[in-house]
Chains A and B, each alone.
Chain A
Amino acid sequence: MIKSPKIHTDLLWDLTVLFLGLAALYFVSIFFFRNRASRLFRRRGTKRTELAPIISNFLFHSSEDPKEAQKEYVELKIGIREYLADNYFRKILADILFDLQRDVAGGTRQRLFRLFVELGLHHDSYKKLKSWRWNIVAQGILELAQMEVSHAFQSVAKFINDKRGIVRKQAELAIVHLKVDGINYLLDNTKYGISEWQQLKLIEALESITDYNPPRFKTWLISENKDVVLFSLRLIKHYNQNDAADSIIALVKHKDNDIKIAAIHCIRDFHFTKAMDALKLVFAQCSPIVKASLLDTMGEIGSEADLEFLKHVARTEPNFSIANRANRAINTIQPDAILPTKDILEDADFVMETITESPAIPSDGEGLPVENVEVPETGEVIPAVAEKVETIEIEEIQIYDLVEVHTQPKEPEEEEELSPVSEEKSHQLEILELEADLERSLNFSLGLVPVDAAEIDETPENTDYAEMSQESREQLLDEMTENGGASETPLLEFMMEHEEDPELRFKAFNRLRNTAPKSQGPEIAEVEAVEEVAEIALDTDDIGTLSPEHSVFYSLFEHASDLDSKKILIKETIAIGDEKEIAFLNHLAQNEGDSIKDEALKALKAIKERRTNDKNVPSTITSEELLEDVDSIVDEILEGSGPDRLDNHKRDADDGTDPTDDRIPLELCFIYDELGILYNGQREKEDLGLNFELSQEYMYNLKEQG
């Protein structure tokens, strides 16, 4: 029978005391370590501050320095030798130099490295190489590499096959740092694997060598060490060495997946088309990840001859992702070879919509006549897409033809080229062209097609216009501006091209610009229409016609990523917004959450107040007034009161007593800008508080020139 061992209570109390003692020890240790860490930190900080000027003197000393500086340098050199006897001092000094080498470059960096050796600090690093602790050895190697002690190469190189991983890795990096052909030595001699992280670091080390001329890495593709082969492949790809096609293609058959993938990437990047057979050969035995790489590469470098293989893969591959990639590769080689099939309905499922009248005909009746539109009987079912296409074809061709006829008169050669083609082919060609230009064509048909000038010339209005006097032409243009619609476009275009009077031509241009959107793509039309309405609204002071979209802030607000950004945007409306923002802000105040609503209401109030004030300020300024103003500023600056005036502007703006005071005409803004004068308190704040004044010499010159 099992009997529980007897535990003496005393033993338990002893254990309790032991654990209590350990707990107390840990308690003390916690504060000991904390205090020691902060004490060391402070001590190092003090020492560093002490040593920084000395090191700086050493680094930036020059033989051309004045005598005093030379003397100081020599004294420092003697003084520091005494200090160097102290181990702690040497350690701190070395630490400072290690830190510093990360921040300096060029000649200073080289002087730093020389200083490290001159002070004999590298001997400490050498000593570390003899330690039995791997972390000390690794630290020593790192120091020698960082301080570029090139004669340490041999001492470090012997560690590249060290059994201690960290030491070995540090040595590998160090020999690449210490000698330009260190990588050759490493790839030739390493017996251990090179981890991927190490490869990353080695490439980074190679990148840091200036004017590095890499060796031909194909040499190591035959290495016994698979990591050397893998790394070489990556280096070949990295340095674009495309002279090892056969070796790389052979490596596609390697049993290691990483090597396979690296070789495949090289084949893809260097476009080794002759690798296709090898790629097809290995495909079946590869893992899904390798297969994916293979298919992507086949898509990139394959030709139509490889389609059969890819189609076979797409048909037979059980893995959906791989089959999908095969389809993608097919489409890369032969675009649109495979069309979407998912959720695509059968042809028979479609019913052709009956067309009763062309939607393309504008309501004013001046649109383009649509002829030959096939109008099926009501309720007739169109059985197949082919027929549907045929029907649409005719309709679209009509649009297309009209576009062609009216914009670019068909040249006889084109007709001759088209005429031998059978009717069916001709339709197909037209469809292709139509597909490319469908959207544009429809816009033309829905709006106003730009009309050929020759055709306009034939219209009675244009003929009449040419014969009108200038006064009548002016009157006509004014009438068109007041009452005109889109129908005036041809005439306006004619005027733009043929009007001799530049002012009338400009008026016609402006008028046309306002109507043009209707005859262009929907996006442009929309944007310009918005501007037009906004302008009208401003002219007529009819804000009610504006919608939130008229504000430039609308789209920014829609795309703002968070609440803070939105609030900032609303605040900006106070600074630069005008009437166009009122509808937008109203919209926000009605539809957004409380925080946005509050901001919007504030902005709304500010803009409205400013608008009221603006009405009391003359909106234009004559050129005489403008020049007078500039002169007075220049004079004030020359007399020394300039900055005061600028300050007054700022003060006024800051006080907020009269916000209109700091609003000046745009022309004056440009002049201020040219002169580099900061005139506005608000602007000054936005420009991070930069302030300056112009030199008097500059202002004299300016006045002389003026």
Chain B
Amino acid sequence: MSGNLFEIVIEYLNTVFLLFSVVLFTLLSIMGYLSTRNSIHYRNKNKVGDISKVMASPLAPSITIIAPAYNEGLTIIENIRSLLSLQYVNYEVMVINDGSIDDTMEKMISAYNLVKVTQEIDPNWKSKPIRGVYRSRQASFSKLIVIDKENGGKSDAINTGIYLSDSKFVGCIDVDCLLKPDALLHVVKSFYQRSKKRVIAVGGVIRIANSCGISGGMLEEIRLPKNWLAKFQLLEYSRSFLLGRMAWSRLDSLLIISGAFGFFDREIALAVGGYDTNTVGEDMEIIFRMRRYMHELKEPYTIEYIPDPLCWTEVPEDLNILVNQRDRWARGNLETLFKHKDMFFNSKFGRLGLISYPYWFFYEWLAPLMEFFGFFTIIVFAFTGMLNWEFFLAITMTIYMFSVMFSFYAILWDVYTYNEYKKTKDILTLMFCALIEPITFHPIIVWSAVRGNYKKLFRVKSGWGSQVRKGFAKAT
């Protein structure tokens, strides 16, 4: 009897795993197709017209770039300089010193000749106290505003920026990100190009700047990272941004805008109360809330996604930092999905409830857990002699080849659209990464996600972790 029950359980498990895998393969294939169509559409659409001429248009909307800084003394001056040199007229850079304990604030005051100015602040505003608002005495830095406040975390800092800004749009970026000079023009175009729908947020691709040549806060030379962890992440980002998000954007079901490069309609961002300060997945959570808000308003809206490589950032090169980062992402994912659980297969939210949410639930949150437990199942089966080795080998090879094929497709699309890495050696290196990633890098990511979920489910106290900035290499 017990043997019979065990077989039934195994049968069910097999069916679930099989369905799960088939649906995943199907979805990834559909995503590949959709992203291809969207990329071609985007390319054709942007082939005509020159966006640079409108940078000083009288109708050009105001934008505030909000860059929270916590202990960024090493690179803050260079980073701000980069942000101040964008090709756009009507914008300001608001750096929020989030209670840094290093010399970030002193360096900014000294380098940009800052002076404290008076600013009315709502006494009921829910963020950590603001110590001062600073502006530069020098006309050349008139676009710069520095807010000095007590430490409250990234979300709290950005909320302060959103509140203090007067602009129509606010951009939330990581202060160490390098933006291409025409980044804001692309952003404005994305916000303004629709006449039937209101664009409530704009996100973009994050490219990896490790080992790239930077000079005067500008990206001078694009190079493949030297560090292998960074190389794997580059491949992963290409897959995620060029195929994944592009496809979701085509379906108008994008559920996440990267915290490193996200722009919002300030009115909507304020209406939903800004970022949630109680989650580590704040960049995803705000999109859920903004979408929910617009659904409830019954106003036509959309979220735009820019595939152009406009934002470049450093990724972790240290294993511990990487694991902490992915652990945090997993916790953020779980927190957000749990908070908005009423959307799950809820037709009231349209595609959001019927496609995006379930996908995120099954394939972003559950998949790593299933992989992890599947791995142990295989070990158990192997020890109990239940494993059909021939079948196991065949299915493993199928999954492996699918993974490699999908990565190759991402590389192909990267080459076809933007062709950033000119050297043949770089392309071959990326292909090599695609070949070994499933057995080297991917298990680390799975482990990090499992750890994050464990911490969240068993309430192990954990915060943001840390990211050690190396600073960008000088162009040669």
User: CB within 8 Å of B: which residues of A?
Assistant: 1-5, 7, 9, 12-13, 15-16, 19-20, 22-23, 26-27, 29-31, 33-34, 37, 134-135, 138-139, 142, 166, 170, 173, 192-201, 203-204, 227, 234, 238, 287-289, 320-321, 324, 559, 561-562
Q: Which of B54, B60, B408, B409 has the most CB of A within 10 A?
A: B408
Asked whether A196 and B59 contact (CB < 8 A) given A4-B18, A16-B401, the answer is yes
Stretch of B188-196, B373-381, B437-445 on the interface side: B188-196
Contact A19 B411 (CB under 8 A): no
Of A2, A170, A203, A324, the residue contacting B15 (CB under 8 A) is A2
* Cα distance A200–B121 in the bound complex, in angstroms: 34
B136 and chain A: residue at smallest CB distance:
A561
* Cα distance A393–B398 in the bound complex, in angstroms: 93
Counted as pairs of residues, one from A and one from B, with CB atoms less than 8 Å apart, the total is 147
Set of chain B residues within 8 Å of A30, measured between Cβ atoms: 408, 411-412, 415, 427
* Cα distance A564–B409 in the bound complex, in angstroms: 45
Top 3 nearest A-B pairs (CB, nearest first) are A193-B195, A320-B122, A19-B401
Set of chain B residues within 8 Å of A31, measured between Cβ atoms: 424, 427
Please give 19 more A-B residue pairs, beta carbons under 8 A apart, in addition to A2-B15, A5-B18, A166-B48. Answer: A2-B11, A4-B14, A9-B394, A16-B394, A16-B398, A16-B401, A27-B408, A30-B415, A31-B427, A34-B419, A135-B48, A166-B44, A196-B61, A203-B57, A204-B53, A234-B59, A320-B125, A561-B81, A561-B113
Contact A193 B397 (CB under 8 A): no
Contact B412 A33 (CB under 8 A): yes
Would you give the shortest CB distance from A539 to chain B, in whole angstroms? Answer: 35
Set of chain B residues within 8 Å of A7, measured between Cβ atoms: 18, 391, 395
Contact A12 B59 (CB under 8 A): no
Set of chain B residues within 8 Å of A203, measured between Cβ atoms: 57-59
Contact A199 B8 (CB under 8 A): no
Asked whether A2 and B54 contact (CB < 8 A) given A16-B401, A139-B47, A289-B267, the answer is no
Set of chain B residues within 8 Å of A320, measured between Cβ atoms: 120, 122-125
Contact B415 A200 (CB under 8 A): no
* Cα distance A370–B391 in the bound complex, in angstroms: 107
Of A5, A166, A227, A324, the residue contacting B195 (CB under 8 A) is A227
Contact A135 B401 (CB under 8 A): no
Q: Which of B122, B267, B395, B398 has the most CB of A within 10 A?
A: B398
A257 and chain B: residue at smallest CB distance:
B267
Contact A321 B122 (CB under 8 A): yes
Set of chain B residues within 8 Å of A194, measured between Cβ atoms: 195
Residues of B396-441 whose CB lies within 8 A of A: 397-398, 401-402, 404-405, 408-409, 411-412, 415-416, 419, 424, 427, 431
Contact B402 A204 (CB under 8 A): no
Contact B54 A200 (CB under 8 A): yes
A22 and chain B: residue at smallest CB distance:
B405
Asked whether A204 and B54 contact (CB < 8 A) given A33-B415, A320-B125, the answer is yes
Would you give the shortest CB distance from B394 to chain A, in whole angstroms? Answer: 4
* Cα distance A135–B42 in the bound complex, in angstroms: 11
Contact A193 B196 (CB under 8 A): yes
* Cα distance A30–B416 in the bound complex, in angstroms: 8
Would you give the shortest CB distance from B122 to chain A, in whole angstroms? Answer: 4
Would you give the shortest CB distance from B20 to chain A, in whole angstroms? Answer: 12
* Cα distance A454–B394 in the bound complex, in angstroms: 113
Set of chain A residues within 8 Å of B267, measured between Cβ atoms: 287-289
Set of chain A residues within 8 Å of B404, measured between Cβ atoms: 19, 23
* Cα distance A201–B431 in the bound complex, in angstroms: 42
Q: Which of A173, A196, A324 has the most CB of B within 10 A?
A: A196
29 A–B pairs (Cβ distance < 8 Å), ordered by A: A1-B8, A2-B12, A2-B15, A4-B11, A4-B12, A4-B18, A5-B15, A5-B18, A7-B18, A13-B394, A22-B409, A23-B401, A29-B412, A30-B415, A135-B44, A135-B47, A138-B44, A142-B49, A173-B49, A193-B195, A196-B192, A196-B195, A197-B188, A197-B189, A200-B60, A201-B54, A203-B58, A204-B54, A324-B120
Set of chain B residues within 8 Å of A34, measured between Cβ atoms: 415, 419, 424, 427
Set of chain B residues within 8 Å of A324, measured between Cβ atoms: 120
* Cα distance A66–B421 in the bound complex, in angstroms: 52
A564 and chain B: residue at smallest CB distance:
B216
Of A16, A134, A201, the residue contacting B49 (CB under 8 A) is A201
Give chain B's interface secondary structure class: helix
Q: Report if B77 contacts A (CB, 8 A).
A: yes
Q: Report if B106 contacts A (CB, 8 A).
A: no
Set of chain A residues within 8 Å of B81, measured between Cβ atoms: 561-562
A292 and chain B: residue at smallest CB distance:
B166
Residues of B174-218 whose CB lies within 8 A of A: 188-189, 191-196
Contact A19 B125 (CB under 8 A): no
A563 and chain B: residue at smallest CB distance:
B77
B78 and chain A: residue at smallest CB distance:
A562
Residues of B1-42 whose CB lies within 8 A of A: 8, 11-12, 14-15, 18
Asked whether A166 and B398 contact (CB < 8 A) given A2-B12, A200-B57, A204-B57, the answer is no
User: CB within 8 Å of A: which residues of B?
Assistant: 8, 11-12, 14-15, 18, 44-45, 47-49, 53-54, 57-61, 77, 81, 111-113, 120, 122-125, 138, 188-189, 191-196, 267, 390-391, 394-395, 397-398, 401-402, 404-405, 408-409, 411-412, 415-416, 419, 424, 427, 431
Contact B405 A19 (CB under 8 A): yes
Contact A561 B59 (CB under 8 A): no
Set of chain A residues within 8 Å of B125, measured between Cβ atoms: 320
Contact A26 B405 (CB under 8 A): yes
Would you give the shortest CB distance from A236 to chain B, in whole angstroms? Answer: 12
B404 and chain A: residue at smallest CB distance:
A23
* Cα distance A696–B229 in the bound complex, in angstroms: 71
Contact A195 B124 (CB under 8 A): no
Set of chain B residues within 8 Å of A198, measured between Cβ atoms: 193, 195
A197 and chain B: residue at smallest CB distance:
B192
Of B14, B15, B113, the residue contacting A559 (CB under 8 A) is B113
Contact A12 B409 (CB under 8 A): no
* Cα distance A22–B409 in the bound complex, in angstroms: 9
Would you give the shortest CB distance from B294 to chain A, in whole angstroms? Answer: 15
Set of chain A residues within 8 Å of B401, measured between Cβ atoms: 15-16, 19-20, 23
Would you give the shortest CB distance from B27 to chain A, in whole angstroms? Answer: 16
Would you give the shortest CB distance from B430 to chain A, in whole angstroms? Answer: 9
Of B48, B196, B411, the residue contacting A26 (CB under 8 A) is B411
* Cα distance A320–B125 in the bound complex, in angstroms: 9
Contact A561 B112 (CB under 8 A): yes
Set of chain B residues within 8 Å of A15, measured between Cβ atoms: 398, 401-402
* Cα distance A2–B81 in the bound complex, in angstroms: 63
* Cα distance A324–B164 in the bound complex, in angstroms: 13
Contact A238 B58 (CB under 8 A): yes
* Cα distance A245–B436 in the bound complex, in angstroms: 70
B25 and chain A: residue at smallest CB distance:
A15
Would you give the shortest CB distance from A342 to chain B, in whole angstroms? Answer: 8
Contact B195 A195 (CB under 8 A): yes
Set of chain A residues within 8 Å of B59, measured between Cβ atoms: 196, 199-200, 203, 234
Set of chain A residues within 8 Å of B408, measured between Cβ atoms: 22-23, 26-27, 30
Q: Which of B57, B61, B191 has the most CB of A within 10 A?
A: B57
Contact A13 B397 (CB under 8 A): yes
Would you give the shortest CB distance from A118 to chain B, in whole angstroms? Answer: 25
* Cα distance A138–B138 in the bound complex, in angstroms: 46
Would you give the shortest CB distance from B95 to chain A, in whole angstroms? Answer: 14
Contact B419 A3 (CB under 8 A): no
Asked whether A195 and B193 contact (CB < 8 A) given A30-B408, A200-B60, A289-B267, the answer is yes
Would you give the shortest CB distance from A291 to chain B, in whole angstroms? Answer: 12
* Cα distance A591–B18 in the bound complex, in angstroms: 70
B141 and chain A: residue at smallest CB distance:
A561
Of A12, A37, A135, A173, the residue contacting B419 (CB under 8 A) is A37
Set of chain A residues within 8 Å of B398, measured between Cβ atoms: 12-13, 15-16, 19
B189 and chain A: residue at smallest CB distance:
A197
Asked whether A195 and B390 contact (CB < 8 A) given A4-B14, A204-B57, A559-B138, the answer is no
Asked whether A16 and B397 contact (CB < 8 A) given A201-B49, A559-B138, the answer is yes
A234 and chain B: residue at smallest CB distance:
B59
